[in-house]
Chains A and B, each alone.
Chain A
Amino acid sequence: GAVVSQHPSRVICKSGTSVKIECRSLDFQATTMFWYRQFPKQSLMLMATSNEGSKATYEQGVEKDKFLINHASLTLSTLTVTSAHPEDSSFYICSAIPTGRNEQYFGPGTRLTVT
């Protein structure tokens, strides 16, 4: 149980285009999901907290207009990287907390490369 999926697992896009990454909780409902970014050999960096039915809460320094987050249902959150640039290339990981619980389950990650 407690499986989180991400799609796509890997994406390459051209500079200036937008990319959408989906995060799904497959066997539980999640009122809250999180989006992280991770550079090679570095720790997780929390980008935003996504709450179902309300606006996401962004961490300091994360541009909300560039990283659009939508949490439309209790099992789906999406991250859209708008007008992507090479410096947006990174490993993006989502996670979800089952409603009423405290432990966090992570997706497998999405590797974004912007050329």
Chain B
Amino acid sequence: QKEVEQDPGPLSVPEGAIVSLNCTYSNSAFQYFMWYRQYSRKGPELLMYTYSSGNKEDGRFTAQVDKSSKYISLFIRDSQPSDSATYLCAMSAIRSASGGSYIPTFGRGTSLIVHP
């Protein structure tokens, strides 16, 4: 079992739909959660990051973390064709004072297609 599981898709939705992207993980040490968006032939762009459980909202994006279920989600409201990209989740343990591991572990990415 991989540490981070993410369905590669593709996920195809009509413009204006609410999109739900998800990742599950197995390492209970993960405390820091990130979502990236990657367009073709570009580097990943950090969309959101959050510590531990709870919700965080930024414009049309909401990141949700459920540590009890080891499950994280990214919701996109009012999806647009320009949102079509690959979305990667990433997570890491928080660097400790003794220098604990902080190298992020990535999901394989979900390809999202928003059609007009």
Residues of A within 8 A of B (CB): 2, 4, 6, 32, 34, 42-44, 46, 49, 91, 93, 95, 97, 102-109, 111
Contact = CB atoms under 8 A, between A and B. Distances in A.
A42 B60 CA distance: 27
Contact of A107 (B41, B43, B108): B43
Contact of A104 (B41, B90, B95, B107): B90
Contacts of B32: 102-103
Nearest to A44: B106
Interface residues of B, number: 22
B14 interface: no
A95 B103 CA distance: 11
B114 to A, nearest CB: 18
A102 B43 contact: no
A42 B106 CA distance: 12
B104 A106 contact: no
Contact of B41 (A6, A42, A91): A91
Contacts of A2: 46
A109 B88 contact: no
A102 B94 contact: yes
Contacts, number: 49
A46 B103 contact: yes
A106 B108 contact: no
Given A43-B88, A43-B106, A44-B106, A103 B41 contact: no
A106 B106 contact: no
B34 A108 contact: no
Contacts of A108: 42-43
B61 interface: no
Given A43-B88, A43-B106, A49-B103, A105 B46 contact: yes
B59 to A, nearest CB: 18
Closest CB pairs A-B (n = 8): A106-B43, A43-B108, A103-B49, A109-B43, A102-B32, A106-B44, A108-B43, A93-B43
B88 A102 contact: no
Interface string B1-43: 0000000000000000000000000000000101010000111
